[in-house]
């Protein structure tokens, strides 16, 4: 169960979650996309053996992806435990998870290992430490492919060096509404910071949620990358907060009206699409963060953000559902989570 | 206080209210629009004197329109106690009202006297009897202008004869949504039945509310006109009910979704225009009538229909308000009247 998002972290009025992942490959095996099924099997078995004590001691779970359904895999993607590209591929993959799914390790993804930590709010350092800790422990049992000059070797050269991607999921409704987001995106691009939608490279920024992450993994230490990203994220947080205050003070009634109308629809609809839900949830989240709505627990919005996704809805119901069925169930989930006095 | 609408009448799922008015002029005085101020004064005094016992015995109220504000007069129009054309005119007008405003008599409107009764639901006969009763009692003190061949003489020839207008305020959302309304309007026109919006001749059918009334006042008895209108209204009621069932059974979830979204906005908005309120209230009313919404007392919708009008809002606040102020107050009224469990 993905319960890490049931608490809120620092700066959670703007930062939904922080994520760090380390790409690692095991010395002596070809990369996943080169090796074919036999290599995948060999890597799978090697990691399975090497991690078995660790899994036992840390209370982790090993998931054999061959035994999962397409719905399971879609749900993993929606929870950010797997990249979208991996769902349709028949591969010998594994997934190691801790209890609240804040730590996850993909086996035979783009790299042999993708060690990831995801935490609520802005907690890059802690997330990095969680990854680093697991990486070190597993490193006692396997040899990571490493080059003195290049650092950790990865399947894609963009991950070379530290193999580290640091990212924050940021809710930026005021920057979007005011148009300021364009300047932010340009500035990020110049600083080697990539900005994507909530579900990766080609996804749109639905619900005004952006994934901000480092592009460069080479030539800096893990600590430098983390610090640099934290600095940039803090600047964006400040800008978003300033514009929010400006928008709210500009016309408080219309600001509140927009938020409450979104709440009214979301708390009453009988059928609602994913896209509309994402957009209305953005306004409700903004309302909670600005103190306009005080009767909804903010964690409910974090839970909904995952629950309303098509894969997770279908996983909960244990079968494929038509889009109409999903829209009805989604509306029911929203009504339940947005009831007054949930706090 | 206009409290007649705080109860519901027969067929109130489609018929909001029934209205009957009798146009009368007093023998020996020129028509209001011809006579000028002196005639108006003479008529005013004559009616005032003639009705004083009746007012006392029946517990009625006499309102001197010269002592009312523009807001008061606008509010009278919104309550259908006065025609819109009369509000801006500086005239020596009077208004007799009973306690719940179900009986009202305009003095020096288009005719010297416009005796009106308005009741919830379909109650044409009762409304007619209320008017007739007052007309008869006042007739003991004044002589109505009457011609053996033409009947009661009226300022506008379209009211000649009985001087009677019988109308029903009907809520026809299903006929509008399905487009069937066009055929109904054509049929009405052929049968000498006029169809207007909620506020008279030139107003649009806001909120899917239509005023259905007889065009012909001459050549039929009062009973015939009432019966004929009741028959036509019952036919429209049946058509509306049939199409409602068809729409609801066609796609129940989408039907309910539309209604609950309207409810959600209306019960949460912080600023809302009259037109939007009328349209959303139409859906909420439909939801109540179809049993989709069971937690709102239907009378609240009737009360709101009057309360949200600009004149009534301003009367309540005792001053002129900007459109923005009215929109905010209107939103507050809607929230209050649509709270869950008002039933």
Q: Could you report the predicted ipTM of this complex, rounded to two decimals?
A: 0.88
Instruction: Using alpha carbons only, give the angle A147, A150, A153 rounded to the nearest 5 degrees.
Output: 65
Residue B21 near residue B174 (C-beta atoms within 8 A)? no
Cα A185 → chain centroid: 19
DSSP conformation class of B267: T
Cβ contact B269–A261 (<8 Å): yes
Q: Cβ contacts (< 8 Å) between A263 and chain B: which residues?
A: 264, 268
Q: Give the pLDDT band of residue B158 (cuts 50, 70, 90).
A: confident
Taking the C-alpha atoms of residue B243 and residue B238, their distance in angstroms, rounded to an integer, is 9
Q: List the single best residue of A250, A255, A266, A270 to mutate versus B (max B Cβ within 10 A).
A: A270
Q: Cβ contacts (< 8 Å) between B264 and chain A: which residues?
A: 261, 263-269
Q: Cβ contacts (< 8 Å) between A266 and chain B: which residues?
A: 264
Which backbone phi and psi does B98 adopt, to 5 degrees? -90, 180
Q: How far is B291 from chain A (nearest CA, A)?
A: 15
Instruction: Name the percent of chain B lying above pLDDT 90.
Output: 70
Cα B43 → chain centroid: 25
Cβ contact B261–A266 (<8 Å): no
What is the count of residue pairs from A and B with beta carbons less than 8 Å apart? 56
- Strand B164-171 relative to strand B146-147: parallel, antiparallel, unpaired? unpaired
In this complex, the residue of B253, B264, B269 whose CB is nearest that of residue A267 is: B264
Cβ contact B328–A253 (<8 Å): yes
Query: In the predicted model, what is the mean pLDDT of chain B?
Result: 91
What tokens does A2 get? Answer: 């993905």
Residue A118 near residue A127 (C-beta atoms within 8 A)? yes
pLDDT over 60 at A218, yes or no: yes
Chain B's closest residue to A258, CA to CA, is B269
Taking the C-alpha atoms of residue B264 and residue A153, their distance in angstroms, rounded to an integer, is 55
C-alpha dist (Å) from residue B325 to A252, B33, B319: 13, 37, 11
pLDDT over 60 at B200, yes or no: no
Whole-number pLDDT of residue A11:
94
Whole-number pLDDT of residue B218:
79
pLDDT over 80 at A195, yes or no: yes
Whole-number pLDDT of residue B88:
63
Cβ contact A256–B270 (<8 Å): yes
**B residues 270-289 lying closer than 8 A (beta carbon) to A:** 270-272
In this complex, the residue of A256, A265, A324 whose CB is nearest that of residue B261 is: A265
Residue B257 in contact with partner chain A when CB distance is under 8 A = yes
C-alpha dist (Å) from residue A13 to A16, A183, A288, A298: 8, 21, 8, 9
**A residues 235-254 lying closer than 8 A (beta carbon) to B:** 253-254
| Helix (H) or strand (E) segment spanning residue B81 | none
Rounded average pLDDT over B336-340 = 88
Residue B267 in contact with partner chain A when CB distance is under 8 A = yes
Q: Cβ contacts (< 8 Å) between B293 and chain A: which residues?
A: none
The answer for residues whose C-beta is within 8 angstroms of residue B45's C-beta and 6 or more apart is none
Q: Cβ contacts (< 8 Å) between B254 and chain A: which residues?
A: 270-271
Cβ contact B261–A268 (<8 Å): yes
For the segment A286-341, what is each residue's pLDDT rounded down to a tens digit?
999 999 999 999 889 989 999 999 999 999 988 999 999 999 999 999 999 998 76
Stretch among A11-15, A90-94, B77-81, B88-92 having the lowest mean pLDDT = B88-92
Q: Cβ contacts (< 8 Å) between B295 and chain A: which residues?
A: none
Write the burial class of residue B277 (CB in 10 Å: 0-12 exposed, 13-18 middle, 19+ buried): buried
pLDDT over 90 at A173, yes or no: yes
Cβ contact A269–B263 (<8 Å): no
Provide the 3-class DSSP secondary structure of residue B330: helix
Cβ contact B253–A269 (<8 Å): no
In this complex, the residue of A261, A268, A328 whose CB is nearest that of residue B260 is: A268
Residue B303 in contact with partner chain A when CB distance is under 8 A = no
Rounded average pLDDT over A244-266 = 96
Residue A149 in contact with partner chain B when CB distance is under 8 A = no
pLDDT over 70 at A16, yes or no: yes
Cβ contact B269–A264 (<8 Å): yes
Q: Give the pLDDT band of residue B10 (cuts 50, 70, 90).
A: very high
Q: List the single best residue of B251, B255, B256, B260 to mutate versus A (max A Cβ within 10 A).
A: B260
pLDDT over 70 at A89, yes or no: no
C-alpha dist (Å) from residue B8 to B16, B119, B122, B288: 8, 9, 10, 13
Q: How far is A237 from chain B (nearest CA, A)?
A: 28
Whole-number pLDDT of residue B89:
64
Angle of helix B222-250 versus helix B252-266 axis, rounded to 10: 110
Nearest to B308 by CA among B178, B171, B198, B223: B198
Chain A's closest residue to B253, CA to CA, is A270
Whole-number pLDDT of residue A198:
67
Taking the C-alpha atoms of residue A145 and residue B126, their distance in angstroms, rounded to an integer, is 94
In a 13 Å sphere around the CA of B39, the CA atoms on its Cβ side amount to 16
Q: List the single best residue of A268, A296, A323 to mutate versus B (max B Cβ within 10 A).
A: A268
Cβ contact B265–A261 (<8 Å): yes
Q: Cβ contacts (< 8 Å) between A267 and chain B: which residues?
A: 264, 268
Cβ contact B257–A263 (<8 Å): no
Stretch among A170-174, A265-269, B22-26, B90-94 having the lowest mean pLDDT = B90-94
pLDDT over 70 at A222, yes or no: yes
């Amino acid at each position: 169960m993905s319960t890490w998002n049931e608490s809120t972290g620092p700066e959670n009025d703007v930062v939904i979650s922080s994520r760090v992942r380390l790409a690692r490959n095991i010395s002596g095996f070809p990369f996943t996309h080169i090796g074919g099924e036999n290599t995948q099997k060999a890597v799978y078995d090697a990691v399975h053996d090497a991690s078995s004590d660790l899994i036992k001691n840390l209370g982790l779970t090993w998931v054999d992806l061959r035994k999962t359904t397409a719905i399971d895999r879609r749900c993993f993607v929606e929870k950010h435990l797997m990249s979208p590209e991996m769902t349709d591929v028949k591969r010998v993959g594994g997934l190691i998870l801790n209890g609240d799914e804040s730590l996850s390790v993909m086996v035979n993804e783009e790299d042999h290992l993708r060690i990831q930590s995801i935490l609520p709010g802005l907690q890059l350092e802690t997330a990095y430490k969680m990854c680093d800790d697991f990486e070190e422990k597993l490193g006692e049992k396997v040899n990571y492919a490493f080059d003195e000059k290049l650092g950790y070797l990865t399947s894609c050269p963009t991950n070379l060096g530290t193999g580290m991607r640091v990212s924050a999921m940021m809710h930026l409704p005021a920057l979007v509404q005011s148009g300021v987001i364009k300047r932010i995106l340009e500035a990020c691009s110049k600083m080697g910071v990539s900005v994507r939608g909530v579900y990766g490279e080609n996804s749109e920024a639905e619900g005004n949620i952006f994934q901000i992450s480092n592009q460069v993994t080479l030539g800096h230490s893990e600590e430098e990358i983390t610090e640099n990203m934290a600095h940039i994220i803090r600047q964006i947080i400040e800008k978003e907060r300033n514009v929010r205050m400006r928008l709210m003070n500009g016309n408080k009634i219309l600001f509140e009206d927009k938020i409450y109308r979104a709440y009214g629809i979301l708390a009453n609809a009988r059928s609602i699409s994913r896209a509309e839900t994402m957009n209305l949830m953005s306004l409700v989240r903004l309302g909670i963060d600005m103190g306009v709505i005080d009767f909804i627990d903010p964690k409910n919005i974090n839970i909904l953000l995952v629950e309303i996704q098509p894969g997770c809805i279908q996983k909960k119901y244990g079968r494929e559902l038509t889009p109409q069925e999903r829209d009805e169930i989604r509306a029911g989930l929203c009504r339940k989570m947005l009831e007054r006095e949930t706090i």
